[in-house]
Amino acid sequence: MSRALVLSVCLGACGGAADGVSDPDAPTANPCQVSISYEALPPFASPDTVVRAIANVTNSEGQHTYDWFLSFNGGSNMTPASASPDNSAVEFPATADGVYRVRFRIEDANCPEASQDIDINGPGVGTTAFRIRVVAPPDVDRPPLDKQVVVEGGDQDLLDDDVQLGPAVDASGTVTLGGTPVAGYLKFMPGVGADAVVETYANAVGQFSARLRAETHQVLVIPTTPDVPPQLVTFLAGQTSLALQAGTQVSGTVRDPQNVAIANATVQLSIGGVPSTIGTTDSTGAFSLVAPPATGLVRFEITAPAALGLPRLIGE
């Protein structure tokens, strides 16, 4: 049986267009937003499986009259049973594995129709992990998105949730340490849109540019300069510089169980998950590294030359 991954993408806030791509910045006279959510989707179909669907409506005031529709594997429409006094939630049995399309519309409001497919599987159906990357067209101001998803098998392989590309800004600036430009790798990690991670590089004069979500980011900076440690820096919307700190010099000696100095061993610390520079021991077992300006759990890792047959030492 041939299989296809069905992906729904929304640029920004998603309304009822769950089957395609929508842009919230496009001119529209209808501010009403609609979507469908579910309570604890069942793991698979069975004679006792019941799905509860809930209508979500924003920017539309007053009492509403909801019309619900349900179809299975592209068949004719059915009417699911009401599960709330105002009919804003419904329930339906999922006795067979397949694709259930749930839709609702509001009779007395100028709102779009909401529609969503759910792939309910039979017992024993496998899952496959994917990493998806979504990149908007060049003329659409949205940052790229990378995320891990687990897709369950069935009549169709579906992602039940929209993949949303939030509004973006073009950011540029310079990475410096004490006024001196620093080259290196940059990983911009937004707080709200956690999947919209953007990776880029600062060039030899410290300059970088990236298209980011319009929010505050934590930036992991890994300099190419050996004596400047990696570090996390906060980057605000509109900011034009990333100022690094020098870090803390750490030195020591590595010896084997017989108290013999070990040459050419590598030593690295991490503080709060941020790594240090890597130190390599000399003939006396001495090493030196620069720890990041961070707080948190301190972890160390020491790796002896393979020829010595010693295990890697990891501790906290």
Six token digits for residue 286 = 């001495």
What are φ and ψ of residue 308, in 5° steps?
-80, -15
The pLDDT value given to residue 153: 60
Neighbours of 110 (CB within 10 A): 10
CA distance 292 to 29: 51
The pLDDT value given to residue 104: 92
Secondary structure string (H, E, C) spanning 212-260: EECCCEEEEEEECCCCCCCEEEEECCCCCEEEECCCEEEEEECECCCCC
Q: Which residue has the tokens 């392989």?
A: 157
At residue 297, what is the residue type? L
Q: 245 to each of 77, 178, 221, 239, how far by Cα in Å?
A: 63, 8, 11, 17
Question: Low-confidence residues of the chain, pLDDT below 50?
Answer: 1-28
Q: In a 3-state reduction of DSSP, which class is residue 25? A: coil
Burial, 150: exposed, middle or buried (Cβ in 10 Å; 0-12, 13-18, 19+)? exposed
* Chain Cα centroid distance, residue 135: 14
The pLDDT value given to residue 288: 94
* Domains in the chain, CATH or no CATH each: 5-165 (2.60.40.10), 168-244 (2.60.40.1120), 248-315 (2.60.40.10)
Neighbours of 192 (CB within 10 A): 10
